[in-house]
Chain A
Amino acid sequence: MNNQSGPSIQRPFSPVRFVRNLAVAILAVVVYVYGWQVTEINLQTLVQGVGDIRPLVEDLLNPQVFERDKQVVRLRVPFPIPCPPDYVPQPATYKGARMDIEPACGEAEEVVVTLRNGRPNTLARVRWGFPIGTDQIVTQAATDDQGNLRVRFQRPEPALGGLEGEHRVEITMEWEEGPLRISDTLKTVVDKMVETVFLALMATTFGVIFALPVSFLGARNLMTTTLWGTVTYYLVRLVFNILRSVETLIWAVIFVVWVGIGPFAGVMALTVHSIAALAKLYSEAIESIDPGPIEAITATGASRLQTVIYAVIPQVIPPFIAFTIYRWDINVRMSTVVGLVGGGGIGYILIQYINLLQYRQAAVAMWAIVIVVSAMDYLSGYIRERVV
């Protein structure tokens, strides 16, 4: 019986600890069950929805960077119901193409449309127009090698309004022709991308200009030597923290209301957040400098300002540059999204394309963002390596 000598290798059982651990475990389960429900997590939709996003993904992989001139040929014949007496069919012609319809009028169940000398091998859409002005696609087919087409279809019934009146039958052929050229979308996107990059540049610059002086007021080691300094230090820190706790997007919403939709609102939003974030980083850089030179220069009888100029600033230049580049990086990223809430730049047109379901155009904007952001990332990494 030597287990009385020395303490047990097992931690002794404690009921208090057991109850506490159990309570923590139950609380954790409750929190996560509630969280699962409140966020409506539904793995089933995740699987089912895969099919729905395929066209979107396809469009995204096929951005509309280049396009050709679009050609449209439209032929239209009237179709009165009922047939007027002595009605003479009126075939439509356009550049040698001719469209006929049979019967040409009346309450026929079925209608045959023929097209001769159209553009070969081109998709043609047949539309039926009702007297009240609405229309619908009734059929579509491709022309043959000679550019001829003959399709039969059911005459549609109007959903609204009466049957009697002048109906129309219309063939539309659309195709692209001529050399590939840069799409208008790409031109718009490049334009907005330039705006985005400059938005980031202006915001970073303003951020640095304002953050530089206040960062010294927010540095503990410089400020807490006197009472007023200490008070200023805590006030400045408080303001930084409040400004920083509000996200850039929220600032953007505020400034869109303040100065109106456009890049200026974006610049202001990014600037406010940059000032607070940079000032904090700068202050921390100042706080972590070697105090030795400050002591030495203070001991020469230098004033506070002189001490800062000669002992503090030379030491903080490399970290300041590093933090500024880092902020520039973030600002480029953020400037692509402030537009979503009206802050100008590429985000502004991206959200418009998405709302109009123009995914191929949206794809151009998204790819532009990917390219520019990673290019800036690379560039800033390169500069940082060189400078610091």
Chain B
Amino acid sequence: MLEVRQLNKIYPGGIHALKDVTFTVEEGEFLVLIGLSGSGKSTLLRCINRLVEPTSGQVIWNGVDITAASPAELRHIRRQIGMIFQQFNLVKRLPVITNVLTGRLGYVSPWRSLFNYWTPEERRMAMQNLERVGIADQAWKRADELSGGQQQRVAIARALMQNPKLILADEPVASLDPATSHSVMKYILELNRRDGITVICSLHFLSLARQYGTRIIALRDGHIVFDGKPEEIDDRRFKEIYGEDAVEVEIR
């Protein structure tokens, strides 16, 4: 459903963050991106929905070339692709429910947004999605009053408002403690298993990647250095990805 071809990204500073990255994602996959800090994981994820403009290459989404899409087409594609961030990226001063509703903006006319008007239908949908992530009771709190784990669940609810076919998650649990990490990862896994949403998720810890991923792609200096099943990563491959000095740690 998603095909990345010969993708390159060179930042204005001259940093070559992605080098000929090519891979294909099938519907229903839980693809985990791993790699050291600076290896290009965030850049790759942002090139898929063009938050970052790729320098060359193509991203094909169900037969449509995202990299060639007009602004209107791009918005149309983006609303089918949810995104979750390490820093949650909620609008801190707005209530939780409004943050969730913003996930629906791609479906709403800009004139309606001018008056912050949401239909009862949309409000019900927002409450349902908050219930799904277990924080419906926090709906009217300001977003920054919530704990990190709760905020990430709000972000998941926001992505769900898009009725996404794909979710891009950029280190969704890197700011959370291990226990909370697992609870957030379980919600994402559930979207994958129950709703059949394809997930591309970058993770720092290989142990998490093994636990949740159906497939792992490893980046090193903008190259793909591994693409395969989690159990195929042995000691030798691990050192290829993370360098000679690395040791694997487990988080439970």
Interface set of A (CB-CB < 8 Å, partner B): 290, 292-293, 295-303, 305-306, 309-311, 314-315, 317-318
Contact = CB atoms under 8 A, between A and B. Distances in A.
B110 A300 contact: no
B106 A309 contact: no
Provide the main secondary structure of the chain B interface.
Answer: mixed
A290 B93 CA distance: 12
Given A301-B80, A302-B106, A315-B93, 15 more contacts: A296-B89, A299-B78, A299-B82, A299-B83, A299-B168, A300-B161, A301-B77, A301-B79, A301-B105, A301-B106, A302-B75, A305-B110, A306-B110, A306-B113, A310-B113
16 contacts: A293-B92, A296-B85, A296-B89, A297-B102, A299-B81, A299-B82, A299-B168, A300-B104, A300-B105, A300-B158, A301-B75, A302-B102, A303-B105, A310-B91, A314-B94, A317-B93
Contact of A315 (B83, B91, B116): B91
Q: How large is the interface on B (under 10, 10 to 19, 20 to 34, 35 or more residues)?
A: 35 or more
B106 A300 contact: yes
Interface of B: 49, 51, 75-83, 85, 87-94, 98, 102-108, 110, 113-114, 116, 155, 158-159, 161-162, 168
A366 B82 CA distance: 63
Interface centre among B88, B98, B105, B114 (most CB of A within 10 A): B105
B89 to A, nearest CB: 4
A310 B102 contact: yes
Given A305-B113, A309-B113, A309-B114, A300 B89 contact: no
A299 B48 CA distance: 10
Q: Would you list the 4 A-B pairs with minimal beta carbon distance, nearest first?
A: A301-B106, A301-B79, A302-B105, A292-B89
Contacts of A314: 91-94
A306 B108 contact: yes
Contacts, number: 89
A290 B87 CA distance: 11
B81 to A, nearest CB: 7
Contact of B90 (A296, A298, A303, A305): A296
B162 A301 contact: yes
A349 to B, nearest CB: 46
Nearest to B76: A301
Contact of A292 (B75, B85, B98): B85
Nearest to A302: B105
B83 A296 contact: yes
A300 B166 CA distance: 12
A303 B110 contact: yes
Contacts of A306: 105, 108, 110, 113
Nearest to B86: A292
Contacts of B159: 300
A311 B114 CA distance: 13
A295 B49 CA distance: 11
Contacts of B88: 292
Given A301-B105, A314-B94, A296 B158 contact: yes
A386 to B, nearest CB: 16
Contacts of B87: 292
Contacts of A298: 51, 78
Contact of B103 (A290, A300, A309, A317): A300
